[in-house]
């Protein structure tokens, strides 16, 4: 089985709406059947496939506007306007009426040095200190899908 890489993600044609001088996009992604193993730390998403003409997510340096880091923030990063559906689910089950979605994982997009990564999580064992943990290597996400939303240029 192969690791999931940026090139192994299939992207739909983005839906794009113009809001002032920025674009709001929604892009359906799916993990290819040949790339099955999640890599801890997330799946890098290609900004040029998310419908932004300048490939710049708002919150990044080139589209930061007037945002500043709060005085009590525990991080030095600014929020990026990129997010996903709450879950990544089996694509076939997601697209069929009256069919149970038997497999799903909570997910979130994070910006790492300005690059978007889709991260997936599982429920920790009963009694664990943390309720959710990031998936570990060798968790199969073949043919899983979610929608990525962006706001930028």
Residues 86-135 pLDDT 10s: 999 988 777 777 778 888 999 999 888 888 999 999 887 777 788 888 88
User: In the chain, what's the furthest Cα-to-Cα distance?
Assistant: 50
Please tell me the predicted confidence (pLDDT) of residue 64.
46
Q: Is the pTM of this model over 0.85?
A: no
Please tell me the predicted confidence (pLDDT) of residue 49.
93
CA atoms within 13 A on the CB side of 61: 5
Least confident of 25-34, 43-52, 90-99, 144-153: 90-99
What does the pLDDT average to over 131-141?
A: 82
Residue predicted with more confidence, 146 or 96: 146
Q: How far apart (Å, rounded) are the C-alpha atoms in residues 98 and 34?
A: 28
Each domain of the chain, given as residue ranges in start order, spans 2-66+75-152
Please tell me the predicted confidence (pLDDT) of residue 60.
59
Identify the CA nearest to 114 among candidates 153, 67, 73, 82.
82
Q: How far apart (Å, rounded) are the C-alpha atoms in residues 116 and 29?
A: 13
Task: Kindly tell me if the per-residue pLDDT of 139 is higher than 90.
Answer: no
Residue predicted with more confidence, 23 or 54: 23
What does the pLDDT average to over 41-48?
A: 90
Residues 50-82 pLDDT 10s: 988 877 777 654 554 454 555 555 555 555 788
């Amino acid at each position: 089985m192969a690791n999931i890489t940026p090139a192994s993600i299939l992207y739909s044609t983005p839906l794009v709406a113009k809001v002032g001088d920025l674009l709001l996009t929604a892009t359906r992604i799916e993990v290819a059947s040949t790339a099955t193993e999640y890599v801890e730390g997330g799946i890098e998403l290609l900004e040029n496939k998310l419908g932004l003409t300048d490939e710049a997510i708002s919150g990044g340096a080139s589209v930061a506007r007037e945002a500043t880091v709060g005085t009590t923030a525990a991080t030095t990063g600014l929020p990026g306007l990129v997010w996903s559906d709450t879950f990544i689910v089996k694509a076939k089950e997601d697209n069929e009426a009256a069919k149970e979605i038997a497999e799903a994982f909570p997910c979130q997009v994070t910006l790492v040095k300005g690059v978007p990564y889709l991260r997936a999580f599982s429920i920790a064992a009963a009694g664990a200190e943390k309720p959710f943990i990031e998936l570990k290597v060798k968790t199969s996400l073949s043919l899983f899908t979610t929608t990525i939303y962006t706001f930028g240029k």
